[in-house]
Homo-oligomer: A and B are copies of this chain.
Amino acid sequence: MNSTSFFDLVASITERGRDLLARRLTAIDPEHNAKSLIELCEALLSERGEASGLAQAAEILERYLSLDEAERIALFTAFAEKFGPNRERLTKAAKAWLADPQHADAGDLHYYSESVRQELFRRLNRAPGGTHALVGMRADLITLLPQNKHLTPVDRDLAHLLAVWFNRGFLVLHRIDWSTPAIVLEKIIRYEAVHAIHDWADLRRRIDSLDRRCYGFFHPALIDEPLIFVEVALTEKMPAAIGPLLAEDRTVVPLEKARTAVFYSISTCQRGLAGISFGNFLIKQVVEELRRELPNLTTFVTLSPVPGFMQWLQTAENLPLTEEQRAILPSLKEPNWTEKPEEAEQLQKVIEPLAAYYFLKIKRPDGRPRDPVARFHLGNGARLEQIRWLGDRSPRSLSEGAGLMVNYLYDLDDIEKNHEAFVKTGEIITSSAIKKLLKSDPKPRPSTAALPQPRG
């Protein structure tokens, strides 16, 4: 069965419809791109014919790509203002509901309050490449949002639709290796967000070694685009640092000796799908996949960064430190402190307990840990297992996380229990090693921010 022809087919259908459109569109002033696009969108919504509809959708998506930022804002603003719900019908439905909230059908209210742009997006999705184009449109929208708060309802609708379409029931897991098409691999290089992949040789070391694995989620309508992927190293023991794991000259671990799977990098790929989470699902599936392939694996663990630690440290008040301890902190700002054994050792004694304190005691208003990586893994049911001093000596890690790394442990027998405890009571499941670190803390005392804040 030949599915590729589908896109060609649609392409010819739209070709034909486009001729018809071309005749109709000549009246539109080409100078006013956004304006003419809006008219095209209105035509698409009014149109009930499939063929011209497909052509119009393809036309809109194609012309959208040539808009500059101002034009995009104009278009999205029209989406916000002109393509909302039918206000008349909605008012009527709202009154009916309030008159008899017990018996009236809330469905009327729901469907009348649906903004017209949702139908617009659904029709745009019919065009070949429509899903891809809409994900791109949302990425643009996200960029514009901070300066254009009035576009929030548009984003809400588009995000809702994408969340429905990218329901994980539709996602497929693929192993990514040296047999994967280059068109996907180039995106792995581009999207790796944690430990940058420098070139194709670097990529190959990460996906084409016997002791490495990489898996990603894909959507059937976006077969060349990974949505999220995770890189895995197979090791004998739980790793303490990322450097040796990625070293060019490392020794490959024979599969029969591998006991540990290390999730050392998870990257999302589609900015346009921000807010739609796949990650927890991915990790669990990969764990199952690995267990099946390699029954000898006993430990599933991350080697994760602590990206918010330094920012917290720089602004935190009431750090649980003695004056003496506090006096050591500024060394973190010195260049090359990692190469001065004495300073580093002193810092370790202060920072490790502070990190335990940061993970276990510092919460957001909603009661969840301040650290985003911790929220993710603890929310998935992982256990905070080990804090790794100088686990990552890269400049970025030093400046964001004091070089710390963390092992979060995925113990399959406890995932559910941990997850429920975390969700219901906010409890953070952690190892005794980290609890001990915390106990070694002196009592918190008043203290101003320990480090000079960065300016600008």
Q: Which residues from chain A sit less than 8 Å from chain B, CB to CB?
A: 1-6, 8-10, 12-13, 16-17, 20, 48-52, 84-85, 87, 90-91, 94-95, 97-98, 101, 105-107, 109-111, 113-115, 122, 125-128, 130-131, 153, 156-157, 160-161, 164-165, 167-176, 178-183, 185, 199-200, 204, 220-221, 224, 280-281, 284-285, 288-289, 292, 380-381, 412, 415-416, 419-420, 423
Copies per assembly = 4
| A interface: dominant SS | helix
A169 & B51 in contact (Cβ 8 Å cutoff): no
Residue on B nearest A122 in the bound complex, by CB: B167
B107 & A153 in contact (Cβ 8 Å cutoff): yes
**Bound Cα distance A419, B20 (Å):** 12
Which residue, of A48, A167, A176, A220, has the highest number of chain B Cβ atoms within 10 A?
A167
Chain B residues within 8 Å of A49, by CB: 381, 416, 419-420, 423
**Please, could you name 15 A-B residue pairs with CB atoms under 8 Å apart, sorted by A?**
A16-B416, A20-B416, A51-B416, A52-B416, A52-B420, A90-B109, A94-B94, A94-B109, A95-B98, A107-B113, A125-B169, A165-B167, A180-B181, A182-B185, A182-B200
B182 & A179 in contact (Cβ 8 Å cutoff): yes
Chain B residues within 8 Å of A170, by CB: 125, 131, 165, 220-221
**Bound Cα distance A17, B284 (Å):** 11
| Contacts A181-B181, A292-B12; A169 near B131 (Cβ below 8 A) | yes
Taking A3-B174, A52-B419, A127-B169 as given, write out 13 further A-B residue pairs in contact, using a Cβ cutoff of 8 Å, ordered by the A residue number. A1-B175, A6-B172, A9-B289, A12-B292, A49-B420, A50-B380, A51-B416, A52-B416, A106-B153, A109-B109, A126-B169, A179-B182, A180-B182
Chain B residues within 8 Å of A169, by CB: 125-128, 130-131, 221
| Contacts A3-B173, A51-B415, A181-B181; A106 near B84 (Cβ below 8 A) | yes
A372 to chain B, nearest CB (A): 17
**Bound Cα distance A167, B130 (Å):** 11
Chain B residues within 8 Å of A221, by CB: 169-170, 220
B87, B126, B173: which contacts A5 (Cβ < 8 A)? B173
B178 & A181 in contact (Cβ 8 Å cutoff): yes
User: Which 10 residue pairs of A and B lie closest in terms of their CB atoms, listed nearest first?
Assistant: A220-B220, A110-B113, A1-B174, A125-B169, A94-B94, A109-B113, A49-B419, A3-B172, A179-B181, A85-B106
Residue on B nearest A11 in the bound complex, by CB: B288
Chain B residues within 8 Å of A131, by CB: 169-170
A210 to chain B, nearest CB (A): 14
